[in-house]
Each structure stands twice: as C-alpha cells, then as structure tokens.
Homo-oligomer: A and B are copies of this chain.
Amino acid sequence: MSGEEKQPVAKKRTGRRPGGEDTRGAVLAAARAEFGARGYQKASMRAIARAAGVDAALLHHYFGSKDRLFMAALEFPIDPRVVVERVLAGDRATVGERVAAFVLGLWEQPAVRDRLLALLRTAAASEEVAALVRGFMVTELVDRLAAELDVDQPELRVELVMSQIVGLAMARYVIGAEPLASAAPEEILPLLGRTVQLYLAAP
C-alpha cells in the first residue's frame, strides 16, 4: 500500500497513507460533499480527489468508477450494474419473474432492506438526497436498461417498475399493511412478476 510517491504536489494534508482508513474516510467525505453540491451526473472524480488531497489515479485505483464511489459514499446497497445484468440476461418472456425474484430476494436481506428504507426516508425528507438518488438511478439504471428494451417509452416503463418496487417496500415495510406485510415472498412473486413483465415487455 505504499504509494506516497504518487501523491500530488497539491496534497494539503500529510502523513496520510493512501488506501488507509483515514484516506478512505477523507475520500468518502469529499465525495459526499461533491455529489451533494453538484449532483451525480456533474460530480467530478478529479474534484473529489483534489478535495480529499489524493491523486486522481489513486482514487480510480481504489474506488473504480464514479458509480462505485457513489455507492461507497452513500452506502447504496444495490448495484445498478447487477440489476441491469439480471434484467437483460435470459429470456425476455420471463424477465418479470426474474426481476421480481431478484428484488424480493434483496429486500429480504435485513442489511439491504434497512439501508434502502433509510435512503427512502431520507429522500422523502430531503430534496437534495432525492436529487442525488434520482441522478444516480437514472444514469446508471434507467438509461442503461431503457437502451436495451424493445418497447415504446422504455424509460417511462423502467421507472414504473422502480415505482412499483419502491411502493411495495413502503406498503410492506413502512406502512406495514396486512396481509402484505407478512406475506411470504413466494406469495408476492407471481403477482409482482406479472406486473414487471407487463411494464418491461408488453407492447
């Protein structure tokens, strides 16, 4: 992990080991500030590196691309790339059930669910967080997925799927309406799967 020789001249703080916990914390704090100030699309990896006092190449080395850094900074528990892969892999005639099973499986993991609900609550209370989540999801999920779908208004349809998933989480976990709150995932799966199928694949 020795990379001191790669540190930029402009590095403001010294004694920090690149890749160490203090560097990581500084990068994530700088990322949150930059994402918050400029939004997901306009935020710059270079500006985040500069603010954290680390080399831009080093930032890419440790955090990969902007979506990885965003997910780390906001503790975003779902990887849009994996979602896109799941949707596009396999037969389009069964995409609804595949997506529904994947989503229900994610929400059943307490760590994922808790973090998603926390993000949802924060987004509902803060326009800044709502804008951040919106920018990330539209860029990394909606646009990528819509480009591969063979339907009219693909972006609108992907967002309707997202709206059903968000609403299901609200109704099941936040409002807690029975019998939905206690229903087994297998009871919800066929109904949710048909809806997703309809949005993503029906003419």
Q: Is the interface of A mostly helix, strand, loop or mixed?
A: helix
Q: Which residue of B lies closest to A123 (CB)?
A: B175
A198 touching B192, Cβ below 8 Å: no
Does chain B have a CB within 8 A of A147?
A: no
Kindly identify, within residues 170 to 203 of chain A, every residue whose CB is under 8 Å from any CB belonging to chain B: 170-172, 174-180, 183, 187-188, 191-192, 194-195, 198-199, 202
Does chain B have a CB within 8 A of A82?
A: no
Residue of B130, B163, B177 near A138 (CB, 8 A) is: B177
**Proximity bits, A149-174, B CB within 8 Å = 1, else 0:** 00001011101101111111111101
**Proximity bits, A8-23, B CB within 8 Å = 1, else 0:** 0000000000000000
B170 touching A166, Cβ below 8 Å: yes
**How long is the Cα–Cα vector from A165 to B122 in the complex, in angstroms?**
20
**How long is the Cα–Cα vector from A142 to B179 in the complex, in angstroms?**
10
A-side interface residues, number (CB < 8 Å): 46
Does chain B have a CB within 8 A of A1?
A: no
Kindly identify, within residues 68 to 126 of chain A, every residue whose CB is under 8 Å from any CB belonging to chain B: 120-121, 123-125
Q: How many copies does the complex hold?
A: 2
Known contacts A157-B191, A164-B195, A167-B168; A177 and B124 CB within 8 A of each other: no
**How long is the Cα–Cα vector from A7 to B33 in the complex, in angstroms?**
61
A156 touching B179, Cβ below 8 Å: yes
**How long is the Cα–Cα vector from A160 to B175 in the complex, in angstroms?**
13
- Contacts A137-B175, A162-B171, A163-B171 given; 11 further ones with Cβ under 8 A? A130-B175, A133-B175, A153-B187, A155-B179, A156-B180, A160-B195, A164-B167, A164-B195, A165-B167, A194-B202, A198-B198
Residues of A within 8 A of B (CB): 120-121, 123-125, 130-131, 133-134, 137-138, 142, 153, 155-157, 159-160, 162-172, 174-180, 183, 187-188, 191-192, 194-195, 198-199, 202
Listed by A's residue number, 5 A-B pairs whose Cβ atoms lie within 8 Å are A137-B177, A156-B180, A159-B180, A163-B180, A191-B199
